[in-house]
Amino acid sequence: MPAAEQVLYAMPAMRALSRAEAAAVASLVPPRAGSYGLRMGMHEGTGECPDAVAHWVRLSCRDACWTGDLRARCEEPLPFADDSFSLVWLSQILQFQHGQEALLREAFRVTAPGGLLLLSGMHPLSAWMPWLAWNLRDSGGRLHLQAPARLARALARVGYDVESRHRFGPSLPRAVRSPRHFPVLGGGYLLTARKRQDAVTPLRVVRLPRAAPAHGSLAPGAHRECA
């Protein structure tokens, strides 16, 4: 991760936003969500991953590499098999990444059918934007912000069904405490989406021969044999 983003996420305001995101995620993940989850972000995060998933793989982006539970190049495919995770959490990762849809396609590939995707980021219409621009002014850092509605359409294109959209965190960066419920003007957004199940292909219907009636008269010209 570039030094500018490291400094940004070390600030108290961003730490408060990360805690609010973790609380929002914990309230949205259903109990017993699955055995394996994947969390990817631009920072290690200050909140815990939900206990509804038994095992988590945690990755953070640093200098164009994934670090954490394993190391890999960000521009390469994720080193996981298809349908590996019942829950995938992309935590504020798209706003610092080029090729956003490619990362969404990789997330779709490793999400199990019917699995849950959580996608968070800074809302482009929030009151945090001047503060972010000021703190990134000398570092050359640049945000690639998109509205949640546009990201919802991108998720639909790769194969997710969007279930909900929420805002989280304080409305202003100077507020280090987050409201308990989802605020209308929170600094961050959180999308939840479900990977579509594979369609079931019905088998070809085979007509069975009709059974002969158990009673009735014999056909013309037929005769019974006596024992």
- Indicate whether 78 belongs to any domain: yes
- Indicate whether 202 belongs to any domain: no
Q: In the chain, how many domains are there?
A: 1
- Indicate whether 219 belongs to any domain: no
123 burial via Cβ count (<10 Å: 0-12, 13-18, 19+):
buried
The predicted-structure confidence for 32-77, as pLDDT tens digits, reads as follows: 888 999 999 877 655 678 889 999 999 988 877 888 899 988 888 9
The predicted-structure confidence for 87-128, as pLDDT tens digits, reads as follows: 999 999 888 766 688 899 999 999 999 999 999 999 999 999
Q: What is the CATH number of the domain that holds 15?
A: 3.40.50.150
The predicted-structure confidence for 149-200, as pLDDT tens digits, reads as follows: 999 999 999 999 999 999 999 888 876 565 566 788 889 999 999 999 875 5
Q: Which two tokens stand for residue 33?
A: 């969500």
User: What mean pLDDT, rounded, does the chain reach?
Assistant: 83
- Indicate whether 25 belongs to any domain: yes
- Indicate whether 208 belongs to any domain: no
- Indicate whether 225 belongs to any domain: no
Q: What pLDDT does 75 receive?
A: 84
Which pTM value belongs to this model?
0.82
Residue 25: domain span: 3-195
- Indicate whether 216 belongs to any domain: no
- Indicate whether 204 belongs to any domain: no
